[in-house]
Structure 1
Amino acid sequence: FWPFWKLIKALGDEDRAPRLVVLENVCGALSSHDGKDFAAISSALSNNGYRFGAVVINAVHFLPQSRPRLFIIGVRKSSPIPRALIASGPEGEWHPSALVEAYGKLSKRAQSSWEWWRLPAPPARTSIFADLVEDEPHGVTWHTAAETKKLLGMMNPLNLAKVEAAKKAGGRQVGTIYKRTRADGPNGEKVQRAEIRFDDVAGCLRTPTGGSSRQTIMVIEGKRVRSRLLSPREAARLMGLPDTYALPKNYNDAYHLAGDGVAVPVVRFLAEHILEPLLAAALAVEKKAA
């Protein structure tokens, strides 16, 4: 943040400060270092001429991926803010308790520059994860029967029960798996577990820093069970990228692009309901002044 903010301050010194500053981060940014990181960012905005606020938006409202993210939106104090964009206080969907708690730890000066941004209810999602899965994936291959058996062997009884239920459900069932280290070995030791979900939603995409950070899918059709890594194109679809979007040829590069990105429809929603109205109001004032 600080190298970025140094650039913003330099623009301000040249009377070229941007009308809007929008930051995106994981929701852990609200509580890291007991909220001091979020407070420092908030003070930087407030002390440098910005009114600001934050919202938490989960991509699951728009795409079949669980991906809550924090968006901090700052607007120059010289720019007008349409009244319709401001809520009287926190609104549950967009201002969860962690955000309200982080706001409570801000300095009085930062709180005086704070706005509770108002957003409409999210649209109804029209897709499920299975809709995005490729029948003939590119960039990955299906696991061997032995590899799938090993994956099943990493599941605890609860997750194995989910697989059995999917077999009995009939049709084509698609689940997503992440490998996690759990302290549930026979003697309480830490072991790597494969945890599966069949709720038509993928887990949050990550950057491929290790084997467990790559998401695996399991396709069950009756008694037939197959598994493989999530393909680069499937990862891109989970971020709202069209199939015409050119992906890096290297698997890790393509997966990193998705895991480190922002979900397209989330940003479009934010732009439509907050960013574009703010810019339009600012430009209208500047045009009138000219």
Structure 2
Amino acid sequence: MAQITYYANFGEIPFGDITKKETRRWIPDAFDVLCGGFPCQPFSIAGVTKKNSMGRMHGFEDEKQGNLFFYIAEIIERHRPKAIFLENVKNLLSHNRGNTFKIIKEILTNLGYSFHYRILDGKYFVPQHRERVFMVGFDSEVFHYGEEFSFPDMPVKDLKVKDILMEDVDTKYTLSDQLWRYLQEYANKHKANGNGFGFGIADLEGITRTMSARYYKDGSEILIAQKYRNPRRLTPRECALLQGYPDEFIIPVSDTQAYRQFGNSVVVPLIEAIGKCIVNAIKRNFE
């Protein structure tokens, strides 16, 4: 479904699953920058908690999702891009007592790449608290560890949730009485147990919580208060704006699929800002 959205906006269809040999054969022999965001669920706090409760493996031991990084490393080793740009959840740094991140760093440095990383928050570009760890590396055979790279400075902006909200919203996005009652009871139960789990009514004059890929289920982490009605979810268009997509971005899929895709997405203007720093570092090396 994400391929459908990509094609609608850019006129190209991504090759698909890089774990398959037939997909990897389509990768060009030479390219300048590899960008990758391997699945975050095996490393996220929520993902680890859920997998533990189900008796399932997480991190690299999650065979389906956790091992995708090693396919990325294989592509890097084979094609030697000038630079690499990776992204994941902040919890990657502390997962398995820091050993997961240590392995990632060791693999990339052993491949002959420098290693820069920083936790950055999307809230400086959009009205959403969204911390992610970004990893950038440069081929030592080209830059000899002398690249002039630094992560971008965060802009100072007065961002507010109300600025991305639509005026006329279909009532289908309003929570049903049953769902709203369930969310309140769920929050009260966890509050009584001393936990902070529960729904979140967004401060329209501030920023939201982090939107997740599970937003399609109930929208509980970001709800918009309404007069004389139950709270409502964000619309898919509002989710797009909350991630920094332009107004003209085409959403050709169902609401459920759109929520999944935008919940899994990066904050676009933050990625653009880091990308410019990478490109400038490459250009300076060849001036």
Q: TM-score range by the shorter chain?
A: 0.5 to 0.7
Deviation at 1:211, TM superposition (A): 2.8
Deviation at 1:56, TM superposition (A): 1.1
Q: Which residue of 2 aligns with 1:103?
A: none
Unaligned 5+ runs, structure 1: 12-16, 86-116, 156-178, 285-290
Q: Which residue of 1 aligns with 2:273?
A: 269
Bigger RCO (CA 8 Å, 6+ sep): 1
Deviation at 1:140, TM superposition (A): 4.1
Matched-pair contact (CA < 8 Å) for 2:120–2:131: yes
CA offset digits 1:170-223 (Å, max 9, x no partner): xxxxxxxxx7685334xx4989743434252111111027735654423345xx
Name the aligned partner's letter for residue 260 of structure 1: N
Does the alignment pair 1:184 with 2:211? no
If the length of structure 2 is used for normalisation, what is the TM-score?
0.66
Match of 2:261 among 257, 261, 284: 257
Q: Map of 1:137-286 to 2, 5 A cutoff?
A: 137=169, 140-143=172-175, 146=177, 150=181, 154=184, 183-185=190-192, 188=193, 193-198=198-203, 200-208=206-214, 211-212=217-218, 215-220=221-226, 224-272=228-276, 274-284=277-287
What RMSD in Å do the two structures reach over aligned CA positions?
3.0
The count of aligned residue pairs is 217
Name the aligned partner's letter for residue 7 of structure 1: I
> Structure 1 CA distance, aligned partners of 2:103 and 2:151?
24
Matched-pair contact (CA < 8 Å) for 2:202–2:224: no
Q: Indicate the structure with greater strand content.
A: 1
Match of 1:44 among 93, 103, 107: 107
Q: Which protein shows a greater Rg?
A: 1
CA offset digits 1:79-137 (Å, max 9, x no partner): 3366763xxxxxxxxxxxxxxxxxxxxxxxxxxxxxxx4543x2122431011111223
> Structure 1 CA distance, aligned partners of 2:75 and 2:171?
39
CA offset digits 1:38-82 (Å, max 9, x no partner): 111101111111111101110001110000110000001133366
If the length of structure 1 is used for normalisation, what is the TM-score?
0.65
Does the alignment pair 1:24 with 2:27? no
Match of 1:6 among 74, 78, 83: 74
> Structure 1 CA distance, aligned partners of 2:226 and 2:234?
15
> Structure 2 CA distance, aligned partners of 1:210 and 1:249?
13
Match of 2:166 among 134, 138, 144: 134
Q: Percent identity?
A: 20
> Structure 2 CA distance, aligned partners of 1:182 and 1:212?
17
Name the aligned partner's letter for residue 125 of structure 1: K
Match of 1:68 among 131, 143, 148: 131
Matched-pair contact (CA < 8 Å) for 2:148–2:281: no
> Structure 2 CA distance, aligned partners of 1:215 and 1:79?
45
